[in-house]
């Protein structure tokens, strides 16, 4: 009997959803004072306003929109404050909040996925605060570059450890997809080109492709995973980690030397080049450059060059150190936020790449032992 009642109820719900073909977001916003609340569709590339209503005196508001065929994301926005909601089909989501502190005050009913998304966002907010704190300590020279790097990586890993259960408990959920694409300071926290993260991307991509094969988000995920797997195969075959380098024309670097003259990496074509990312203020810098000088002296007259990119925050330290080095040295004033470092997937220092005479990356150098053999092969 219970099964019959359950089945009848399910049929009524499905019939109602099919008939209305709408989802509803409604609720009450306190202290709104007749403000306008906007509904935005959070697309893959941007947010677009799809509706707006003036909040009533008692704080009530309501949006009705066409039901979504696959999980999607919508933002409620008042002034410059937003909250994110996950919508699946034709549900009715209720939101209560205060206009003075929208995110910290809002509560959601009838949408467990939206509640989980709120938790993920709070993890990201906490991480951003930690990174800002570490950044200030580093700029103020209260911690070394190595300590800064270690603390940042530790904080990011803690974020991942807290977020991963939300991905793997239900990979086809809106929360799983949302978690993969969270950014802090403009950077993806989960990186599909990292071996440690590709498993999460693969799980969500497989689930979304199975349940929502026509969704643009599913197709996007599938392409990301296929590209990442392709790059990993290339890395395995060639010994080079091209994680975030998509095309050879993205290899250009243009930065000033100690005299202020801009030097291009592409100017090195015709020579075998070691591209080296480093920071002279670190403890390893001195021994590392001593080892490099032995290699440089051996090949400098045979068509070999070193193009060293400093990520030092201290410009004077860089200039003093660079003036004593025989190879090309340039500095990126963006330091740890260098776009060039991101492009070349620099996650630790030093990081070096060996580049052939045509300007193609041959290998990522993980150990200077044996580097002279690799250089000799490219020079001949």
Q: What per-residue confidence (pLDDT) applies to 27?
A: 96
**Coil vs helix vs strand at 89:** coil
Q: What per-residue confidence (pLDDT) applies to 186?
A: 67
Instruction: Please report how many Cα atoms fall inside a 13 Å half-sphere around the Cα of residue 119, on the Cβ side.
Output: 14
pLDDT digits (tens, 9 = 90+) for 227-255: 777 666 655 554 444 444 444 444 789 99
Whether pLDDT at 367 is above 90: no
CB 303 within 8 A of CB 272: yes
> How does residue 30 score in pLDDT terms, banded at 50, 70 and 90?
very high
C-alpha closest to that of 201 among 184, 183, 179, 185: 179
Q: What per-residue confidence (pLDDT) applies to 316?
A: 86
Rg, C-alpha atoms of the chain = 26
Length of the chain (residues)? 380
Q: What per-residue confidence (pLDDT) applies to 268?
A: 93
pLDDT digits (tens, 9 = 90+) for 192-218: 877 788 889 999 999 998 899 989 999
Q: What per-residue confidence (pLDDT) applies to 241?
A: 47
**Which residues have CB under 8 Å from 325's CB, separation 6+?**
289, 293, 308
Q: E strands, 259-334, where?
A: 262-264, 272-278, 304-310, 328-331
Q: What per-residue confidence (pLDDT) applies to 18?
A: 47
Q: What per-residue confidence (pLDDT) applies to 248?
A: 42
**Mean of pLDDT over the chain:** 85
Going from the C-alpha of 12 to that of each of 9, 17, 20, 248, the distances in angstroms are: 5, 9, 12, 57
pLDDT digits (tens, 9 = 90+) for 98-154: 999 999 999 999 999 999 999 999 999 999 999 889 888 887 888 887 788 788 889
DSSP-based helix, strand, coil % in the chain, nearest 5: 45, 25, 30
Q: What per-residue confidence (pLDDT) applies to 21?
A: 84
Whether pLDDT at 1 is above 50: no
Instruction: Please report how many Cα atoms fall inside a 13 Å half-sphere around the Cα of residue 267, on the Cβ side.
Output: 9
Q: What per-residue confidence (pLDDT) applies to 131?
A: 87
Structure tokens at 200: 């999460």
Structure tokens at 241: 């980690």
Q: E strands, 99-214, where?
A: 107-109, 183-184, 187-188
> What stretch of H or E contains 84?
strand 81-87
**Coil vs helix vs strand at 30:** strand
Q: What per-residue confidence (pLDDT) applies to 28?
A: 96
Whether pLDDT at 63 is above 70: yes
CB 192 within 8 A of CB 198: yes
């Amino acid at each position: 009997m219970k099964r019959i009642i359950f089945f009848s109820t399910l049929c009524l719900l499905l019939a109602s959803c099919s008939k209305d073909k709408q989802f509803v977001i409604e609720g009450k916003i306190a202290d709104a004072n007749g403000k306008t609340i906007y509904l935005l569709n959070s697309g893959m590339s941007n947010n677009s306003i799809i509706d707006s209503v003036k909040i009533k005196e008692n704080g009530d508001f309501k949006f009705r929109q066409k039901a979504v065929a696959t999980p999607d994301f919508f933002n409620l926005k008042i002034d410059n404050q937003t909250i994110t909601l996950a919508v699946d089909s034709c549900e009715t989501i209720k939101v209560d909040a205060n206009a003075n502190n929208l995110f910290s005050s809002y509560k959601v009913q009838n949408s467990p996925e939206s509640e989980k998304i709120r938790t993920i966002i709070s993890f990201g907010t906490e991480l951003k605060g930690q990174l800002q704190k570490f950044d200030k300590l580093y700029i103020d020279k209260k911690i070394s570059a190595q300590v800064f790097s270690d603390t940042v990586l530790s904080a990011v890993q803690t974020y991942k450890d807290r977020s991963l259960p939300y991905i793997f408990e239900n990979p086809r959920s809106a929360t799983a997809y949302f978690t993969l694409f969270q950014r802090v300071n403009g950077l993806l926290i989960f990186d599909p080109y990292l071996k440690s993260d590709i498993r999460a991307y693969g799980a969500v991509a497989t689930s979304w492709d199975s349940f929502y094969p026509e969704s643009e988000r599913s197709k996007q995920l599938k392409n990301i995973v296929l590209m990442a797997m392709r790059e990993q195969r290339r890395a395995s075959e060639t010994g080079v980690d091209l994680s975030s380098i998509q095309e050879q024309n993205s290899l250009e670097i243009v930065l000033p030397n100690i005299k202020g003259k801009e030097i291009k990496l592409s100017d090195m074509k015709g020579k075998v080049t070691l591209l080296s990312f480093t920071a002279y203020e670190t403890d390893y810098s001195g021994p590392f450059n001593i080892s490099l000088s032995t290699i440089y002296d051996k090949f400098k007259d045979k068509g070999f060059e070193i193009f060293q990119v400093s990520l030092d925050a201290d410009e004077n330290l860089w200039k003093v150190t660079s003036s004593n080095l025989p190879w090309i040295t340039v500095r990126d004033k963006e330091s740890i936020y260098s776009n060039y470092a991101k492009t070349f997937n620099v996650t630790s220092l030093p990081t070096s790449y060996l580049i052939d005479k045509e300007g193609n990356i041959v290998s990522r150098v993980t150990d200077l032992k044996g580097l002279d053999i690799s250089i000799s092969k490219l020079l001949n």
